[in-house]
Structure 1
Amino acid sequence: MKKTFRKLLIYGTVLAVCGCRGAGQRETWEKEFADPSDIYRPQPFWHINGTLTTEGIRKQLSDAIQGDGFGGVAVLPLNPGGMWGNQGICPGTTPVYLSEGYFNRYRDILECSAEQGAQVILYDDVDFPSGTAGGKLGEQFPQYTRKRLCKTEEEAIGPKNVKIAVPLRDSFMGAAAMNTLTLERIDLGEFVTDSTLEWQVPEGTWKIMSFAMENHVDNHVDYMEPKAVKEFMKMTYDQYAERFEPYFGNTITKTFFDDVGYYGIENYWNPELSGLFEKRYGKKAALYYPALWYDIGPETDAARVALFGLRAEAMGDGFPLCVAEWCDRYGLQSMGHPPGNYEPTTVDMYGDPFKFYRHVHIPLMDAIHGYPYGRPGFKLISSAADAFDKQLVGAEIYGNYSDRETDSAMLYRVAMEVMARGVNFLVPHGMWYEPDTVKIPPLIAHYNPRLAPALPGYNDFAGRSTFLLQGGRRVADIALLFPIQSLEAWYAWETGRPRCGKDVPPGTDYNRIGDLLTGQIRRDFTFLHPEDFVTDKYQIGNGQIKLNTPSTGQTYKLLIMPSGKVLSVETLRKIRDYYRSGGKILATNLLPSRSAEFGQDAEAVALVREIFGIDPEAPMPARQVSSSNENGGKTIFLPQAESTALAAAIDSLLPDPDVRVDPVETLAAAGLPGQPLLGVERFRDLPADELGMFSYIHKQKEGQDIYLFANSTDKPVDTQVSLKGKLKLEKWNPHTGTIGKWEDVEYDRHADGTIYTRIRLTLEPVSAVFAIGK
């Protein structure tokens, strides 16, 4: 009743402002903006800690949907005696997960949600990470659990004969010797009999290494093995399908997997990877396994790129693909994330975001651990969605934020920032069935007196915003090359360097550049994967790079190459061709001098010399270096990605951007957006006047241009913004649901004939507005 009344009240306000425009698109948009449907509203995690009852379920769902304005819930069961229960801090779910009593209460959740027109997201396991089936997977199928590649070694000085015991563990993967001075490697597989290696050591000092798989590292399913994943899905996904298929596609529309990766198991491996490596590269895997631990000479970089790249592919073609195929059968959309998708490097956490998300229907970022932790990494997820033509991008948001930092302003602040980075569906973290035993704050629910008054307005705001941002294509004219091959080439096991997504090469600056572009220079961009770039997905010509996807296609007029030592020759050739066609390129800090392919370093160096006029094997220039060609191609090398120099270089290479924001005087002194956030800063470390940023996103949808301008700072914004094209604009306020004509509009024709629409933009602290027009 309250929801219906609110809908009529706000819709009336919209009509009073706009007037009735008739049926069709306009009426639909106005109606959804007045009171967004549940499919656009946030759907929080509902941690069902405690004893479920039909009455308790109905009361809490009614409070969440009718009272707070959520669009539904993502039901997250907890395992008594599991991750939280055995700490005595948080009770698990009763009845026990996957029992018939549990499914009876789950049916109550579905029935109550269906009655209220709300949705339920099917969370695929108990606790997290996904992949244990409540602990049953490891008990019943230990052969299908995660594995790792282990090394044993012994040093020998030749010439002499050695006889060494070889631990075969669960399966032998080969043996090799490496000369510690010359780095020559010899395959020793033929010298191993049973569990003994006997070999005549040549002159010199040699590391004698044997490799073996260790199975059943823990109770999580082997994410890289489809057969194992499907066995897990029989124990979980299929149980829901058997009982609740009539709810699929209406009440249940999405599934959710959590933290699928190998966080904490850096040498996570699968025996099939050896065969894949040998088939693709024609080289003996055991001769290249040493590169996972050591420098093996000139082939080190290519070996690591190949091996870690294969592991990343197997991750994407394992768990995420199996879940997506299951969802396709039932008319559902898969959604989920790996661990550490916000960290500076993904290599030691789950592999590669583009390879991981390519099969996921709704790529999801994990915006958790306090504000603004990991923010520079968020654009990788929305960029992967663009690359694979996925129009929904989700965010698990607010989890593990302290109660102190999470006020109503924080709800809006973080929502705005992820929306500006491409998110258009929110999963707050979240509700708790027993709100007095919240293990992971904050409690975002009717029962939190600090947030409860703000939730109806927040959910209206989020629903309106995501309605406008779902679908269509994002407009961005800058492509930022994702330096995954440099990250892979740098990474090695057991080095003692920082782990958990922090081990990056010196000078790595792609995160810094991305944060500067979004929050300070205010030029939107999209990450471009070097392997995707060489496919026919991307076309080059006339100084442009076009992403040829049916729905999310984009056109880039500037390519930024962040610092990186390693890049594939194939990618460099296409960059060279783009430059020859009149393309503009900006590079920073370190140019590639090594090829990601075996044996092609010399060509990589030659290509970089041709493009930039710089020898990448020599010390990098200490000053800016520019070059050009007869077709209008231009390049700039910057020794450091410093904000002022970066902005000036972008202006010179791309003088006619899609959106130009004039300086914002009130934010000129704020330091946060210009700092090199690497995924480690927390709210508690920030000065009070350095919260948030002012940023935007531009989408085109159903013939309309949609601009979201978001000020997540605690300072007002008053500035001028130039939008390419002659636009007739309206102001859509997501906080109030009102629509009106945009005042203070003028048109400016540049010397080249390009017309810009100039608007005055004023925003209160922690507020947003949409400019919409043709």
Structure 2
Amino acid sequence: MSFADPDHWHAPATYWFWQRVPTDQEIREQLDSLAAAGFRSFQIQARLSFPRREYLGEAYLAAYRRTAEEAAERGLLMGIYDEYNWLSGHAGGRTVEGRDELRERHMFFSSARAGSGGAPVECAVDSITAQDVEYLLQPGKEWVFDGGSPRWEDWEIVAALAHPIGAITDETYIVDVTDEARLVRTGPDGCVVSVPAEAVSRAGLDAEVTVFTAARCASSRMINYLLPQAAERFLEVGYEPLARVLGGHLGTTVRYVFFDQPHGCFYHWRQLHEDLRAPERRAETGHVTASLMYAPSIVPEDRRVLLSLSRRVGPDTEAWRCAFFERYADAGIDAFFGTLSAWCRAHGVALSGHEVLGYVSSWDPTSTIITDDPRTNFGTDYFALDRWRDMTAVDARNDHPQLAAKFGDSLARAHGRSGCLVEQYFASTTAGSHFAEGAWELTLGRLRAATVRHHLLGARQLLMHAFWLTDAPSLPDGEGQVFTDPRLDFPPGVNHEPWFTHHRSFAEESGRLSEFLDAAEPLPGIALLYPLRTSWAGGPGHPYGKHFAFWAEYLARAGRDFRIVDEQQIRSGLAPGTSALILPGAEVIEDMATMDAVEDFVRAGGTLLASGPLPRLLQHRDGGDKLTQRVQALVTGVRGAHWPQVPPTAEADSRLTAVPGPRAATADAVPGVWTTRRTLAGETRLALFNDTAERQLVTVRPTTLPAAITWWDPATGRTSEPRPLTEALTLALHPAELSCVSITAGPGAQDVPETRVLDTGWTLSLAGRELTGVDVRRGWERQGFPDIAGEGIYTTRFTLGPEELEHWPVWELVLPGVGSSARAEVNGQQVGDWGWGPFNCPLPAGVLTGGMNTLTITVASTAANRYAPDRGEPSGLLSAPLVRPRLAQSYA
């Protein structure tokens, strides 16, 4: 690690936008500028303003070679951005030139009912539009499609399935009539399929037919990602010319390849919308809402499974959807990314890049930017795709807090790597503007804040979007046009910002923060499940999205150590030290082996929290009541909790406060202060960032005292000499201040006794009754006393070892949640009396005993339960009280 001088993999990288072929002088001057700004690596990206026919041409390749030579002289590294503009795979249209069979192919579906008189039933697909390309305006349409619009050829029938109109209660009512279906009309805008009425009637008198058809988009420059031959052709026409011209620079100066959002277009058609608007369909969820990439390999042996994509098919709906999307994801991921990975390994370079991510710009994996159904793009199986990468990369849009870096780091660690690249771009949010008009108003301060958050959440390197060759249009009539005018192509071009003269300081701080964190390991803490099979079964409309978003954002903002995991990690055993597992709306799981692993985790002392729908369905066989009963037993047990809705933050706090965390120095949570912890050979590293406009105080608590603390200054690269620390440390963080410290045990250090979280064993005396087994994380009105206003007396007992009192004579009582006033006694002696918060106090010397101690807390509610119950706040104890060693606090 080089904290003072960050290396190429931690200092920021950038896209270098080429709007035309640069001159030799421009190459030298811009590489000098790029390096002087603190970038240590870059990727050349030909933008839409670059004449497409010149991409990978003689002049382009010569300039590319010259760039690699100049980069090598300056000690810069390069990555190959593998596409013209973006949507990796088409090589500027070269992949499909002369190879029409490789053009993107899609599957559509439509339904029709049998008419009177025995006439054949006809199902049509027409008025097909490219949902995502529509957003790219005319320049984008002409880039993606020859002639600017999709034209369809080679129509075929994939399946024709007769079934009852409306609800299907049993899959046996579905009849495969594919062999009797006929294409009766085809054209560039759609097709019509005819099915004999008597074939449809085999599904009953009140029946209809759903037909699945597929076609090749003859005008599209995008490829069929399900065909390994398409990826192989992409390598031949896109990668190999660069490999030849780079020569010995490949694997030395040029160290990796980067793919960007490979996907077939996401198409809509008239019958899709009509079907979704049908009265009998409005209550259904989980059906596919865009076309699917198509190759024969995705069609299941039982073609009836396809019907589950367009409607419910009875109790097997979720299992059928999971089976299809598992097959679909495997086919696309292996065919495209597996083929690219093999080429990279053979040529001594790493593979990186990112697919279309449902969670860009959000905490919610169902919050999409490009398509309204992300399952159509490699099945949302982010963990499976990442196994082909050597360096994980993700996309981040704009500068607000979001999930990207945490998800990327979790993917990397699931495959034995650390950190991720975060491609940072900006889109306009101004009313009336196009998103590609970007953010010329971006300040360096806003960019820095976003970058610091990315690092604290797991980013190893920022990949900036972008450094520009020029801001002048290169194409005729390009001026003033979104995309073809560089000024309207996702600005800012950072080197055209007046604040670029300050960029080096930002870049060095980013690299140093990354070096500081990446040298150590994140604490395992909490595992948050990415519920893939629920995504497959329920689609983006399933509530798992909002539950996942709540937990991810809550944990990140609270500075709690967590990773996102998949079912495979649960089944193979979560990382040692994982103390809690969270299931966010995980309604469908793979099979009972997952449930077995969850039970093993809880039996070993782990905590299980869940919100939203609980697991009730299995992909591979019916779980039924047995699965439901097992889940209920876990979440209602002493180590479990379940919230049907998104939990209140205070209740999540209360539950997680009781979860024992890894033994490492901690920082108290302060709203607006982002915190992360890493450990390295007995050392705890903490990075804290004040993301507010006010001065904030954050108390850092060592696990041993005396301790030694070292300050690491990411602004200068200097580290302080270790200084003794004999008490807790309160840092005063000014607005936008970033503080990095490491804490180790000092000479003669002793472990600070662990905090007692008093969450069990309580009794409550209230309204003349005495209750046992009271939950101190919920008010008494939710435990059978909704109309009681007055005083409730809570009592519990806890033990302290004599040696703990001997070494640590001063302790404190903390009541994190009280509604609304309280007084407390320990062993019969009053220690606190509060009309309002904060509810904490030091415990006087001699009040505690080595052995059993009794704590009594009398809580006075408001009068609302009696006089205005609809306006009342929770009453009584609302969070588990804490008894912990009191560490003196100082200000720094």
8 Å CA contact retained: 2:585, 2:610: yes
Alignment of 1:177-196 (within 5 A): 177-181=162-166, 183=168, 184-192=173-181
Residues 1:555 and 2:555 aligned together? no
8 Å CA contact retained: 1:399, 1:440: no
8 Å CA contact retained: 1:699, 1:705: yes
8 Å CA contact retained: 1:342, 1:365: no
Give the superposition deviation at 1:359: 1.1
* Counterpart secondary structure, 2:97: helix
8 Å CA contact retained: 1:76, 1:127: yes
Name the counterpart of 1:646: 652
- For residues 590 and 624 of structure 2, the distance between their equivalents in structure 1, rounded to whole angstroms, comes to 9
Highest Rg: 1 or 2? 2
Q: 1:636 aligns with which of 641, 644, 661?
A: 641
8 Å CA contact retained: 1:477, 1:558: yes
Normalising by structure 2, report the TM-score: 0.67
Normalising by structure 1, report the TM-score: 0.77
8 Å CA contact retained: 1:37, 1:71: yes
8 Å CA contact retained: 1:445, 1:452: yes
Alignment of 1:614-629 (within 5 A): 626-628=636-638
Residues 1:74 and 2:103 aligned together? no
Name the counterpart of 2:565: 528
Give the superposition deviation at 1:227: 1.9
8 Å CA contact retained: 1:144, 1:228: yes
- For residues 597 and 395 of structure 1, the distance between their equivalents in structure 2, rounded to whole angstroms, comes to 36
Alignment-mate amino acid for residue 415 of structure 1: T
- For residues 703 and 117 of structure 2, the distance between their equivalents in structure 1, rounded to whole angstroms, comes to 73
Name the counterpart of 1:605: 628
Alignment-mate amino acid for residue 706 of structure 1: R
Alignment-mate amino acid for residue 205 of structure 1: D
- For residues 197 and 296 of structure 1, the distance between their equivalents in structure 2, rounded to whole angstroms, comes to 21
Name the counterpart of 1:620: none
- Deviation per CA, 1:640-671: give whole Å up to 9, x if none: 3221111111112336675643243xx4xxxx
Name the counterpart of 2:385: 356
- For residues 166 and 359 of structure 1, the distance between their equivalents in structure 2, rounded to whole angstroms, comes to 39
- For residues 207 and 150 of structure 1, the distance between their equivalents in structure 2, rounded to whole angstroms, comes to 17
- For residues 318 and 759 of structure 1, the distance between their equivalents in structure 2, rounded to whole angstroms, comes to 54
8 Å CA contact retained: 1:513, 1:641: no
Alignment-mate amino acid for residue 694 of structure 2: K
Q: Which moved more, 1:463-472 or 1:427-436?
A: 463-472
Name the counterpart of 2:763: none
8 Å CA contact retained: 1:395, 1:418: yes
Alignment-mate amino acid for residue 376 of structure 1: L
- For residues 580 and 377 of structure 2, the distance between their equivalents in structure 1, rounded to whole angstroms, comes to 30
Alignment-mate amino acid for residue 388 of structure 2: H
CA RMSD between the two structures: 2.8
Q: 2:555 aligns with which of 511, 514, 517?
A: 517
8 Å CA contact retained: 2:694, 2:735: yes
Residues 1:448 and 2:497 aligned together? yes
Runs of at least 5 residues in structure 2 that lack an aligned partner in the other structure:
126-152, 185-193, 268-289, 367-373, 429-437, 473-485, 745-892
Name the counterpart of 1:267: 291
8 Å CA contact retained: 1:324, 1:334: yes
* Counterpart secondary structure, 2:217: coil
* Counterpart secondary structure, 2:315: coil
8 Å CA contact retained: 1:394, 1:423: yes
8 Å CA contact retained: 2:692, 2:736: yes
Give the superposition deviation at 1:75: 0.5
- For residues 20 and 119 of structure 2, the distance between their equivalents in structure 1, rounded to whole angstroms, comes to 65
Q: Which moved more, 1:421-430 or 1:140-149?
A: 140-149
- Change over 3 Å in CA distance of 1:94–1:588 after alignment to 2: closer
- Change over 3 Å in CA distance of 1:290–1:697 after alignment to 2: same
- Deviation per CA, 1:736-767: give whole Å up to 9, x if none: 211114657346xxxxxxxxxx4433333223
- For residues 136 and 766 of structure 1, the distance between their equivalents in structure 2, rounded to whole angstroms, comes to 48
Give the superposition deviation at 1:97: 0.9
Alignment-mate amino acid for residue 617 of structure 2: R
* Counterpart secondary structure, 1:212: strand
Name the counterpart of 1:425: 461
Q: Which moved more, 1:719-728 or 1:243-252?
A: 719-728
Q: 1:463 aligns with which of 511, 517, 530?
A: 511
- Change over 3 Å in CA distance of 1:704–1:334 after alignment to 2: farther
- For residues 377 and 663 of structure 2, the distance between their equivalents in structure 1, rounded to whole angstroms, comes to 36
Identity score, percent? 20
Name the counterpart of 2:821: none
- Change over 3 Å in CA distance of 1:446–1:609 after alignment to 2: closer
Q: Which moved more, 1:642-651 or 1:763-772?
A: 763-772
8 Å CA contact retained: 2:175, 2:304: yes
- For residues 765 and 315 of structure 1, the distance between their equivalents in structure 2, rounded to whole angstroms, comes to 47
- For residues 455 and 481 of structure 1, the distance between their equivalents in structure 2, rounded to whole angstroms, comes to 38
Alignment of 1:248-327 (within 5 A): 248-262=250-264, 264-265=266-267, 266-274=290-298, 277-278=300-301, 284=302, 286-327=303-344
- For residues 724 and 205 of structure 2, the distance between their equivalents in structure 1, rounded to whole angstroms, comes to 79
Name the counterpart of 2:598: 575
- Change over 3 Å in CA distance of 1:424–1:702 after alignment to 2: farther
Name the counterpart of 1:411: 447
* Counterpart secondary structure, 1:611: helix
- Change over 3 Å in CA distance of 1:459–1:114 after alignment to 2: same
Give the superposition deviation at 1:35: 2.2
Alignment-mate amino acid for residue 254 of structure 1: Y
* Counterpart secondary structure, 2:258: strand
8 Å CA contact retained: 1:94, 1:102: no
* Structure with higher RCO (Cα < 8 A, 6+ apart): 1
Alignment of 1:454-493 (within 5 A): 454-470=502-518, 473-491=521-539
8 Å CA contact retained: 2:665, 2:743: no
Alignment-mate amino acid for residue 525 of structure 1: F
Alignment-mate amino acid for residue 456 of structure 1: R
Give the superposition deviation at 1:482: 1.1
- For residues 438 and 607 of structure 1, the distance between their equivalents in structure 2, rounded to whole angstroms, comes to 58
Give the superposition deviation at 1:93: 5.4
Name the counterpart of 2:801: none
Give the superposition deviation at 1:106: 0.8
Alignment-mate amino acid for residue 576 of structure 1: E
Residues 1:175 and 2:160 aligned together? yes
8 Å CA contact retained: 2:266, 2:292: no
